[in-house]
Structure 1
Amino acid sequence: MNVLIAYASKHGATQGIAERIGSTLTAEGFPVTVRPVEEVDDVTHYDAVVLGSAAYALHWMHAATAFAKRHHRDLAERPVWLFASGPLGEDTVDKEGRDVRESSEPREFDKFADELNVRGDHVFFGKWDPESEPVGLMEKIMEHLPGNPRGSLPAGDFRDWDEVEAWAHGIAEELRAG
């Protein structure tokens, strides 16, 4: 069973998660291709797809959303899993007592759950390096705002590799079960 892992990543954290999912599924015996969404023209050569994106302000990156819309019919014919990376820091519960992953879930999860053959979704914590170059217009604008909101984000790598691998193992179990 050929598996595509397609991702949209701005600073590389989501790419790292996609690559770890790929290496875990490979270790489970599945042929895997890991590619940025911009490099995937056809999904019909794959039996299953894992699609992920960095999430900002409760939305996936445009490239991931465009990919899902462009390949809508083909994705609806095969099992699909969605993931996002985004929350930063070590707090797993927000000020209202909600799970940070749940409150950070991109709106695209609900949208595509109805349109595609989505078997599961997951939000992973991300990574932030305040020394990284700003990417995109919004980050460049933020850098010049009073108090530099970009510089006030929690710095560090908050990705939980055991969690990523456990989720990928779950995908492997579902693929084997058919």
Structure 2
Amino acid sequence: MTLKVLVAYATKNRSTADIARTIADVLRDEGLEAELRPASDVGDVRAYDAVVLGSALYAGRWHKDARRFVRRGGRALAKRPVWLFSSGPLDASAGERDLPPVPAARRALIRLDAREHITFGGCLRDDAEGRIARMIVKSGKGGDHRDFGQIAAWARRIGGTLRAEAALQPEER
């Protein structure tokens, strides 16, 4: 049986969706069935064997759709393997060191007993929505700080972990 993984994301300017898409593609390459969906569109996670949830960071906060996803999914999420990621720093810091999760991500990590949280660099383009985002770009502090090699490596680790755990418990599947 192929493991089914939900890759859910919360984003405003599409950058986090691009990261989530990369993760889903790598998981498929790893032999898993990965479904990519906006967190706001997911009502029930019981059909999935594992979940990866990502959120954009805005002013040091997780996107509201990611926070709502965790609240809605609560018990069902806590019964399956969950990995969390954030995207947002508009500098090289995410590639240089392990950044601690913002408060909402930390609460989700604890509440769901998630396997891991990682922060990836963010991206803010010229066509960004929102007055503050446009001001950041105009000031020269935008740009693309995502490291897709790092993102793919993290997704491969998730895929390897899930395949190894499934191989140890084939009778339960």
TM interval, short-chain normalised:
0.7 to 0.9
Say whether 1:132 aligns with 2:127: yes
Match among 137, 160, 166 for residue 173 of structure 1: 160
CA contact (8 A) 1:75 1:117 kept: no
Say which of 94, 108, 119 aligns to 2:104.
108
Q: Partner letter of residue 132 of structure 1?
A: D
> How far apart are 1:91 and its partner, in Å?
5.1
Cα distance in 2 for residues equivalent to 1:153 and 1:11: 17
Q: Could you say if the C-alpha distance between residues 91 and 4 of structure 1 is closer, same or farther in structure 2, counting changes exceeding 3 Å?
A: closer
> What TM-score does the superposition give when structure 2 sets the normalisation length?
0.86
Q: CA deviation at 1:59?
A: 1.3
Q: Relative to structure 1, is the Cα distance of residues 143 and 161 closer, same or farther in structure 2, using a 3 angstrom cutoff?
A: closer
Match of 2:169 in 1: none
Alignment correspondent of 1:66: 68
Counterpart in the other structure of 1:152: 139
CA 1:149–1:164 in 2, change beyond 3 Å: closer, same or farther? closer
What is the aligned residue count?
163
Measure the CA separation in 1 of the matches of 2:31 and 2:146: 24
Q: Deviations over 1:25-73 (max 9, x none)?
A: 0000000100001111110000000000101122110111001001101
Q: CA RMSD in A?
A: 2.1
Is there any run of 5+ residues in structure 2 with no aligned partner, and where? 166-173
Report the Cα distance in structure 2 between the residues aligned to 1:92 and 1:133, rounded to whole angstroms.
Answer: 21
- Contact kept? 1:77, 1:117, Cα under 8 Å: no
Mapped partners of 1:107, 1:143: distance in 2: 22
Aligned to 1:121: 117
Deviation of the 1:109 alpha carbon: 2.5
Contact 1:4-1:50 within 8 A present in 2 as well: yes
Q: In structure 1, what residue type is equivalent to 2:45?
A: V
The change in CA–CA distance for 1:85 and 1:133 in structure 2 (over 3 A counts) is closer
| Structure 1: gaps (5+ residues) | none
State the 1:114 CA deviation: 1.8
Tell me the distance in 2 between the aligned counterparts of 1:44 and 1:143.
Answer: 36
Aligned match of 1:44 in 31, 43, 46?
46
CA distance in 1 between counterparts of 2:53 and 2:147 reads: 18
